[in-house]
Chains A and B, each alone.
Chain A
Amino acid sequence: NAGVIQTPRHKVTGKGQEATLWCEPISGHSAVFWYRQTIVQGLEFLTYFRNQAPIDDSGMPKERFSAQMPNQSHSTLKIQSTQPQDSAVYLCASSLVGRVGEQYFGPGTRLTVL
């Protein structure tokens, strides 16, 4: 079991460019979560999917952030027109449906917006 896979591990973008982050959940896990981690804000929930359906996106900045889960083996987080304040580590986690809180986190993608 390879664990949750996130690619790329590091991404540098210029202000105004687009960034797409990828997540492959653990096989058999049908709940997929996205979080953002910064020193100032800590771990912030962004959005989550259950059986590929979006369930809660209450943490997503509405204008430039979007997430999809086109199939059970991957999810993407897209940030349009990146801004320096988007610089953070973006973490993906997965769990078995119903196993509340028993989330397995990926290593994260460190996004740096210049």
Chain B
Amino acid sequence: GDSVTQTEGLVTLTEGLPVMLNCTYQTAYSTFLFWYVQHLNEAPKLLLKSSTDNKRTEHQGFHATLHKSSSSFHLQKSSAQLSDSALYYCALSANYGNEKITFGAGTKLTIKP
């Protein structure tokens, strides 16, 4: 079945440093990849979405590039802000007509002053 792996459960960074959260996936199908962000006591929200190989996708200062050759979709930001502290989920939806999303375990990102 489909699966998403996020290797870091907790990431703590100092404000201003670059962010990189890892995501790899397994699926037998053509697929969409996503990053969802969930701030404390809020609902998850879609941050990024991609299905195009080697194309950079950007939103709200974050970016990710889908690399099908390595089955990866890492999330990056050049300079962390305190407000980036949140839970980040990488997720996929296989492109065969079923719209359910399979989520990774999530990475809790904490940004310190």
Query: In whole Å, how far is B69's beta carbon from the nearest beta carbon of chain A?
Result: 22
Choose from A4, A50, A55, A101 the contact partner of B34 (Cβ within 8 Å).
A101
Contacts of A44 in B (CB 8 A): 103
Instruction: Name the prevailing secondary structure of the A interface residues.
Output: strand
In contact, B100 and A48 (Cβ under 8 angstroms): yes
Q: How far is the CA of A87 from the CA of B32 in the complex (A)?
A: 31
Q: How many A residues touch B, CB cutoff 8 Å?
A: 25
Q: A42-B89, A43-B44, A91-B44 are in contact. Are A101 and B101 (CB under 8 A)?
A: yes
In contact, B43 and A106 (Cβ under 8 angstroms): yes
Q: A42-B105, A43-B44 are in contact. Are A101 and B98 (CB under 8 A)?
A: no
Choose from A33, A97, A105, A106 the contact partner of B100 (Cβ within 8 Å).
A33
Q: How far is the CA of A58 from the CA of B99 in the complex (A)?
A: 13
Contacts of B49 in A (CB 8 A): 101-102
Q: A43-B89, A43-B106 are in contact. Are A103 and B98 (CB under 8 A)?
A: no
In contact, B89 and A102 (Cβ under 8 angstroms): no
Query: In whole Å, how far is B103's beta carbon from the nearest beta carbon of chain A?
Result: 4
